[in-house]
A = this chain, B = another copy of it.
Amino acid sequence: MTASRGVDMRRQNLALVLGEVADREPLSRAQLAQRTGLTRSTVSSLVEQLLLGGFLTELGATASGPGRPANPLQLNRSGPAGLGLEVGVDHVGACVVDLAGQVRAQQTAPSQHRDREPAVALERAAALAVEVTAQAGLGVAAVTVALPGVVGHDGVLQRAPNLPRWADVAVSDQLSNLFDGLPVSVGNEADLAALAERWFGGAPADFLHVSGEIGVGGGIVLDGQLFAGPGGRAGEIGHVVVDPDGPPCSCGGRGCLEQAAGQEALLRAADVPDVAALVARGGEPRPAAAIATAGRALGVALAGAVNLLDLPAVVLGGLYARLGAPLLEAVTVELSGRVAARPVQIRLSTLGADGALRGAATAAVREQLRDPTVRVV
């Protein structure tokens, strides 16, 4: 064993105290002792460590009760921050979020990765990260990267359908090297976008997030937590079959949702050159018909997911959120007719295109709050 029981207990208690402050700041030491059930002297010692680590700051002493001074504590907005990175098929993004969950700086930039070596994209993302971190003026203590593919628990991107040269890429290790040893976690972009919907998009505790992109991404949240499945790769609604004899798919199957409602299929059916044109001309007959057809396919796939997982809510994100009411209506009609016995809330995401990126940065911050002993670089 590398950590003794006492050390583990100390870490747990640090996280407990920090979590209380995060939920209810400002709090005095006395209030913390009351809320946590720890003794005042233990709380004082834990708070001391959290102050030294830069996680908390102490406000000026104020009077509380009959003459006793209290020094309320709050999260340190200048403390160790979380860095979120996104490596997409055609862009990179970086976002710095402070301990209180506020975005302090954020940028995305076009960057074509489809037929290039992974190192190109990772170096581009790292360069943007340096820029954004400098802009935020905070020290970053943890990094989470959103990736458009299957990631393992070991920080490896196993495969990415739309990044054919990425196979078993040790993204965590490579980025950690670029960042002088900073801890780097990786996550699937659709999973992180789903968590973002839960954390600051108003989504309920149980839902499926389906996002229209070049692929169709899906993330499942159950009881407020990501449902990753036995192998960590759950949520791939893009490869649920909506037309058994439909067109071949990159996954090896036929008639997957992605072939009926992915970005390329939508643009082709609508006969428009890009997403901006699809959104702008959504009322014209051919784009409108394409959106309705995609909506029905989404409804069919979502009906299966709702019946299998017993989900009470669905959030439509990415391209789907931009297509708005016409898509929502088509999905709702199809889905509701197929899950008659289960009321399902169907809504559009309000987060916009940067959900995955903000989810990644927030995940990095939450990791800090769970284990406030990580070093600050």
Contacts and interface: CB of A to CB of B under 8 A. Distances in A.
A273 B176 CA distance: 66
Interface in A200-225: 205-206, 218, 220, 222-223
Given A242-B244, A309-B229, A310-B229, A251 B304 contact: no
A322 interface: no
B338 A241 contact: yes
Nearest to A311: B230
Given A241-B242, A244-B296, A303-B253, A234 B338 contact: no
Nearest to A206: B230
B206 A251 contact: no
A122 interface: no
Given A222-B230, A252-B338, A252-B340, A240 B308 contact: yes
11 contacts: A223-B230, A229-B309, A230-B312, A231-B312, A236-B307, A240-B303, A241-B303, A244-B296, A244-B300, A252-B341, A253-B303
Interface of A: 150, 159, 205-206, 218, 220, 222-223, 228-244, 251-254, 296-297, 300-301, 303-305, 307-312, 337-342
Q: SS class of chain A's interface: helix, strand, loop or mixed? A: loop
A251 B307 CA distance: 11
Given A242-B244, A300-B241, A338 B253 contact: yes
A231 B207 CA distance: 12
Nearest to A340: B252
A253 B150 CA distance: 33
